[in-house]
Amino acid sequence: MTGQVYWEAPSNIALVKYWGKKGLQLPCNPSVSLSLSLSKTQTSLKWVKKERTDEFSFDFFFEGEKKYLFEKKIEALLERIGPSFSFVKDYHLEFRSSNTFPHSVGIASSASSMASFALCLCSMAKALGHLDGPFYEKASFISRLGSGSACRSLYGGVASWGEFSWQEKKLGSDLFATPVSKVHEDFSEILDFILIVDSSPKAVSSTVGHSLMNGHPFLEARITQANKNMESVLDALYKGDWETFQNVVENEALTLHSLMMNSVTPFILMKPQTFLLIEKIQNFRKKTGAKCCFTLDAGPNLHLLCLKSEENLVRKFVQEECKKHLENGRWIEDKVGKDGPKFEEA
């Protein structure tokens, strides 16, 4: 018996950052992100019946080539999914993936790839009659076990992960992400100019980064701040309040890097050009009043977010003032994708 499925899942960029985990990939604080439209991982999964053994059996090909290092991550994911997916041991799996974006440019490939694997595994479970519970919730749950932030890549637009309070209601779950639908129409089109400062591979993995939050002197304060920022940014998205949005998003980006800089083993991922560009963005905004702001992932590259109405002004700014400070003068233009993951009959 054999079968095949194909899924495409978006990467995402966090507005409120998940930083620090507990238990089995549970977040220390709630987070919320924007799913991108063009930056995606495309994955096909083929399964072929085999003699049952106690081992998982699979191959992973990235852009046509076998990738042994990434196989370890898939193995860890399969081990973590647990008994509800033990039927997988009856099959040999073949994952084939490719990304629509380059490596190490500040676009999280772990998020889009783990989300696409989880979707494929859930489709396989569904095809074989082993899926229980709502499809996307399950896929989000599984992708979380591969990479925490991946669980938000299961939805288009805005997605939150973790328990939080908003409008006096307790919402969200630490186990899986949920879509945020209460978004003002002024925020319906957000563009993301990804300014590539340095594309060398990350010096510190996010696993190490998260672990440095254990015993971090500011852990409690960070959790309180993230919860407050979560409420503020959701309010801003709901009301169409750009100023609050901008303040929270920039505060979160700088907080993420500050937490890295003052952990017991400190590390600095920003480069001099990162600071220079932040200053340029702030001056440009002061001068023109453009509705744009920056955020950062765990790396030196900037995401310059803006409303669609500012597109031409911001592109001109990038071309004229930022380009000369970018690695090979390169940036990537993306935007928030409303559609979320895409399935195709294989």
Give the nearest distance from C-beta 21 to ligand PMV in angstroms: 8
- Site membership for ligand PMV, residue 148 (CB under 6 A): yes
Rule CB under 6 A: say whether 99 interacts with ligand PMV.
no
For residues 5 and 305, which CB has a smaller minimum distance to ligand PMV in the complex? 305
Residues 167-226 binding ligand PMV (CB under 6 A) are: 206, 210
Phi first, then psi: give them for residue 247, nearest 5 degrees.
-65, -45
* Phi, then psi, of 175 in degrees rounded to 5: -85, -30
Q: How many whole angstroms separate alpha carbon 256 and alpha carbon 205?
A: 14
Stretch that binds ligand PMV, among 17-25, 177-185, 194-202, 258-266 (CB under 6 A): 17-25
Piece in contact with ligand PMV (CB under 6 A), picked from 14-22, 79-87, 117-125, 331-339:
14-22
**Least CB distance from residue 65 to ligand PMV, whole Å?**
23
Among 37, 39, 123, 149, binds ligand PMV (CB under 6 A): 149
> Using CB under 6 A, which of 192, 241, 250, 297 touches ligand PMV?
297
Q: Which residues 106-125 are close enough to bind ligand PMV by CB under 6 A? A: 108, 110
Q: Which residues contact 25 (CB under 8 A, 6 or more apart)?
A: 80, 144, 145, 148
Residue pair 337/158 in contact by the 8 Å Cβ criterion: no
The answer to whether 61 and 67 have CB atoms below 8 angstroms apart is: yes
Tell me whether residue 15 or residue 277 sits nearer to ligand PMV (CB atom).
15
Q: Using an 8 Å Cβ cutoff, are 110 and 147 in contact?
A: yes
Residues within window 231-270 making contact with ligand PMV, judged by CB under 6 A: 256
Q: State the nearest-atom distance from the C-beta of 319 to ligand PMV, in Å.
A: 28
Smaller CB separation from ligand PMV, 148 or 285: 148
Q: Name residue 345's beta-bridge partners.
A: 5
Query: Which one-letter amino acid corresponds to residue 70?
Result: F
Interface stretch with ligand PMV, choices 89-97, 143-151, 217-225, 234-242 (CB under 6 A): 143-151
Tokens matching residue 318 = 């990038």
Which range of residues in 1-9, 56-64, 145-153, 312-320 is near ligand PMV by CB under 6 A? 145-153
Q: Is 147 in the site for ligand PMV (CB under 6 A)?
A: yes
Q: Among candidates 128, 106, 109, which has minimal Cα distance to 299?
A: 106
Is 14 one of the binding residues for ligand PMV (CB under 6 A)?
A: yes
Q: Is 17 in the site for ligand PMV (CB under 6 A)?
A: yes
Query: Dihedral, CA atoms, 48, 110, 9, 151, nearest 10 degrees?
Result: 100
Burial of 134 (0-12, 13-18, 19+ CB in 10 A): exposed
Rule CB under 6 A: say whether 18 interacts with ligand PMV. Answer: yes
Quote the crossing angle between the two packed helices 68-81 and 135-146, to the nearest 10°: 130
Determine the interface stretch with ligand PMV among 13-21, 190-198, 243-251, 278-286 (rule: CB under 6 A). Answer: 13-21
What is the amino acid identity at position 75? E
Burial call 228-246: b when 16+ CB within 10 Å, e when fewer: ebbbbbbbbbeeebbeebb
Rounded-to-integer distance, Cα 152 and Cα 79, Å:
21
| Residue 125 or 145 having the CB closest to ligand PMV | 145
Contacts of 89 (CB under 8 A, 6+ apart): 52, 53, 54, 55, 56, 57
Instruction: Establish if 227 lies at the interface with ligand PMV (CB under 6 A).
Output: no
Contact flag: residue 105 with ligand PMV (CB under 6 A)? no
Q: Which residues are near ligand PMV by CB under 6 A? A: 14, 17-19, 31, 108, 110, 147-149, 206, 210, 256, 297-298
